[in-house]
Amino acid sequence: MKGVVEPIFDVIVIGTGIGGSSLAALSARAGLKTLVLEKNPRVGGSCSYYEKDGFQIDFGTHLFSRGNRGPIGEVLKRVEAASRVKFVHPTRLSRIVGLGLDIPFYTSLLATPLTLYRSHRQLGIPFREFPGLLKMMSDFFWMPENKIAEWKDRTVEEFVFTRTRHPAILSLIGVMITLYFVYPYWKCSAGEAIWCTQRIIKARRFSYPRGGAAIIPRTMLEAAQGHGATLLTQARVRKILLEKGAARGVELADGRKFQGRAVVSTSSLKDTVFNLVGPEPFPAEFRKKVEGLKESLNAIQIKLALGRKVIKETSMIVLGSPSGNYRLQTASPAQVRKVSEDLEAGKIPELLFLYTVVPSNIDPGLAPPGKQLLNVATAFPHTSTRPQDPPEAWVEAMMKTLLKAVPEIEPHILWKEVIGAQAIESWIGKPGGPLISTVQVPGQVGQDRPAIRSPIPGLYFAGDGAGARGIGTELAAQSAIECAEILDSDFRNGSISLRTGGKMLS
Ligand SMILES: Cc1cc2nc3c(=O)[nH]c(=O)nc-3n(C[C@H](O)[C@H](O)[C@H](O)COP(=O)(O)OP(=O)(O)OC[C@H]3O[C@@H](n4cnc5c(N)ncnc54)[C@H](O)[C@@H]3O)c2cc1C
């Protein structure tokens, strides 16, 4: 390969989100000579951050559904960095507020009866619904794996209809699952939703780390560098280079070339196949499969700085109806569906829901003394879809919804900043800006997820696009674990040879 910058690496990882940073740490820890390339000036992908007026602001809007008890914790443990990330599992975890609801969620199981009682009263759930609801709750706790597998290719909507058709319950499950997978709930895999919920309940670690979301990829990358990995930022990969039909390196936008025995892309499969490699070397059937992959929606976020601490919870799900026409207690199934159809079309839905995280309640150091920052997000279409309502109208509707449900914040707003869908796309580099690049719908979960080994020898996919199970960041971390194990096996069995001086740890 001409013009290659020495040395030659065992593994080149593209991207430093949770997927790329986890993989870099695991592969460097395993003794592989690892190069990590990040196009942005700052690492972390979706979990990166920026600073303004003394606030450290998450680029995304994150909570971690299993904290140190999920795959992120597992990676940190494997690379001996677990003590460097402190996940905090707050007592006042969340609150559903708006449209006449104010339901608190505490982490203590002892508080569950209070939450159930308030939900029953405020949602107006009649006693005749209780058997179905209890059955559904027991599924979310205990459905056995073989039954979960039976639900993998059926939708959440089909599943809920076997238990209840109560409009308020349907609406709230719609909101929760759309937040899990950032996709219309009625298209998402029921099996995957139940699998994820069971893990969340069993782990009891819905949490957020001290130091902000960015501490996670940063710690992974420090661990990688501690094991000899090389990290380059402002290093955009323009092309994945093939030689004799196998991936052999990358070329950066500035012309530098690096050689590696294996290349792992954590961009979306569509980007990797159609842009970074180019479609020709892939078998036609594989190209077709990647072309047809469903990606999640993008988002609009508002970062809202407050002059004092107003919100007590770590997160809130804020509900509102900009048109005034949505009634939780009477919405028809078609109306519930229409909410997410509108999200996909970029039309402000009748039921608007805002995922709101308050990181400084976990780590006061993320805001100047006495101040608070709210990360407020809602799903929004890919940049390839022309939204029916312009982003400015969305921001206005989001603010009105927030201020109607939580009016006490209004007098304390210092400033607001919008991170739109284009900004997300450009930061994470995945065309369209999907929050989850292979979304968990029937046909794209479990064994049907795109494989980590690509059809091209030496080329692998990791991150939220390939392999694994779980929600967002945990999907990406689990995928990195699976990818590291596959690389380990491929290096050991000689399908990739260790010609670069790397030495596998036993
Ligand atoms: C607003 C928002 C809210 C979210 N909320 C949650 C939540 O609450 N909980 C949760 O678990 N998940 C959440 N997610 C989803 C979660 O963040 C992602 O699924 C996960 O972090 C993706 O990790 P990744 O490693 O696959 O990719 P990313 O984090 O997207 O990282 C990809 C990286 O690759 C780099 N890259 C891409 N192309 C190139 C190239 N050609 N050359 C060099 N570098 C390149 C990018 O710059 C980026 O750093 C949210 C995401 C967003 C944006």
Most informative mutation of 430, 473, 478, 483 for ligand 1 (most atoms within 8 A of CB): 473
What are the backbone dihedrals phi and psi of residue 289, each rounded to the nearest 5 degrees, phi first? -65, -45
- Region 246-257: mean pLDDT is 96
Rg (CA), the chain: 23
Ligand 1 centroid–CA 258 distance in Å is 24
- Is the Cβ atom of 277 under 6 angstroms away from ligand 1? no
Sequence-ordered list of residues with C-beta below 8 angstroms from that of 217, at least 6 positions apart, any chain = 16, 17, 18, 20, 21, 43, 44, 45, 47, 48
Strand partners, 304: 374, 416
70 close to ligand 1 (CB < 6 Angstrom): no
Model confidence pLDDT, tens digit, residues 151-205: 999 999 999 999 999 999 999 999 999 999 999 999 999 999 999 999 999 999 9
The residue-averaged pLDDT of 60-87 equals: 97
Question: 306-348, pLDDT tens digit by residue?
Answer: 999 999 999 999 999 999 999 999 999 999 999 999 999 999 9
Pocket test for ligand 1, best of 215, 263, 435 (most atoms within 8 A of CB): 435
Which residue in 196, 221, 182, 193 sits closest to 17, CA to CA?
221
Kindly state the average pLDDT of the residues 56-76: 97
Distance of CA 465 to the CA centre of its chain: 11
**Domains in the chain and their CATH numbers?**
4-54+61-86+210-292+436-492 (3.50.50.60)
Nearest atom, ligand 1, residue 16 CA: 49
**Residue 416 predicted with pLDDT over 80:** yes
Confidence of residue 126 (pLDDT cuts 50, 70, 90): confident
Tell me if 429 CB under 6 Å of ligand 1.
yes
- Return the amino acid letter for 195: W
The label of the residue with tokens 């299993």 reads 66
Residue 125, number of CB atoms within 10 A of its CB? 18
User: Is the Cβ–Cβ distance between 385 and 434 less than 8 Å?
Assistant: no
Q: Ligand 1: distance of its center to the CA of 274 in Å?
A: 19
**What percentage of the chain has pLDDT greater than the value 70?**
97
Instruction: For a ligand 1 pocket test, name from 40, 62, 205, 237 the mutation site with the most ligand atoms within 8 angstroms of its C-beta.
Output: 62
Q: Is the CB of 432 under 6 A from ligand 1?
A: no
Residue with the smallest CA separation from ligand 1 atom 38 is 429
In this prediction, residue 483 has a pLDDT band, given cuts at 50, 70 and 90, of: very high
- pLDDT, residue 506, reads 43
Q: What is the C-alpha to C-alpha distance for residues 42 and 436, in angstroms, rounded to an integer?
A: 20
Query: Across the chain, what does the average pLDDT equal?
Result: 95
**For range 387-411, the mean pLDDT:** 98
Measured at the alpha carbon of residue 168, what is the angle toward residues 165 and 172, in degrees to the nearest 5? 105
Give the position, in ligand 1's atom list, of the atom nearest the Cα of 424.
53
Burial readout 184-193 (b: 16 or more C-beta within 10 A, e: otherwise): bbbbbbbbbb
Tokens for 425? Answer: 């796309």
- Cβ contact 57:373 at 8 Å: yes
Taking the centre of ligand 1 as the mean of its atom positions, its distance from the CA of residue 406, in whole angstroms, is 29
pLDDT at 125 over 70: yes
- The verdict on pTM exceeding 0.75 is yes
Query: Does residue 110 carry a pLDDT above 90?
Result: no
CA 475 – CA 64 distance, rounded (Å)? 11
Find, among 105, 77, 84, the residue nearest to 201 by Cα: 105
Which amino acid is present at 211? G
The candidate with the shortest Cα–Cα distance to 460, out of 482, 434, 438, 483, is: 483
Atom 45 (ligand 1): residue with closest C-alpha?
15
